Amino acid sequence: MAAPELRVERVLDSAAELLVRWGYQRVTIDDVARHAGIGKGTVYLHFRSKDALFLSVLIRVHREIVLRIADRMEADAREVLPSRLMRHVFEEMTADPVARSLYMGDAEVLGRLVHEAGDTLGEFIARRQQAAVEHIRLLADGGCLRPGLDAESALYAFSAVGTGFMVIDGMGTGIPQLDVAARADLLERTLAAALEVPDPPAAVLERIAPGIAQRYRALLVHIDDEWNRRVR
């Protein structure tokens, strides 16, 4: 990786850490530069504004998640199953507080970036939703989902259950405190029972996995376009 790219990564790492620690409203470019150990002017060499910097932090998170989704699907056809996909997304959200804040639309952390990200990434989000619908339909057509479950209902349940597992962590006492691995196991089993036929046919998964992975990989083009508009 070239020196300017390493510098950009260092700035983004610092911005991400401070975003989670203090929230968007409180963090300044001066703070980020100081934390990264570089001059304020150097930050502006790569990002024309505070918005451009922090939107780039969110774009990078999106890209990393989508890339890993596609890589896993290409490596193991069973990763196209909703239960497997959501398990890994949950694990990533739990491990990465920026990804978690973005996924949950945490206004306390993101501030007005919640709305900026929606406007900026609107086309990408729409394309991601379409990829997810096509993904679920291919599984349904291949007999991998429970009979009578249409793609829209399956996608709703997929999203609602995953979000519920995220939200419950922030609720009060009385909720059993499970470690991440136990929660991930429970989430995977819950979605498998709700959406998938027992033992989905391996031959079908092998046939459809490359096409599903490619739908997600195609999203990277649009993410990279947004990245190139902001990073110099």
pLDDT the model gives residue 173 = 57
pLDDT of 1 reads 60
pLDDT of residue 68: 96
Q: 160 Cβ partners below 8 Å, 6+ apart?
A: none
Going from the first residue of the chain to its last (232 residues), give the mean pLDDT of each consecutive group of 10, the final group possibly shorter: 79 95 93 95 93 91 94 98 96 90 79 72 82 94 93 92 80 72 95 96 97 95 88 82
> pLDDT at position 185, please?
97
pLDDT given for residue 128 in this prediction: 86
User: Span 65-226: which CATH code?
Assistant: 1.10.357
d(CA 135, CA 95): 25
Q: Looking at residue 189, what is its pLDDT?
A: 97
What was the pLDDT predicted at 217? 96
Q: Other CB atoms closer than 10 Å to residue 119's CB: what's the count?
A: 8
Sketch the domain layout of the chain as residue ranges: 65-226
**In terms of Cα–Cα distance, which of 100, 69, 48 is closest to 228?**
48
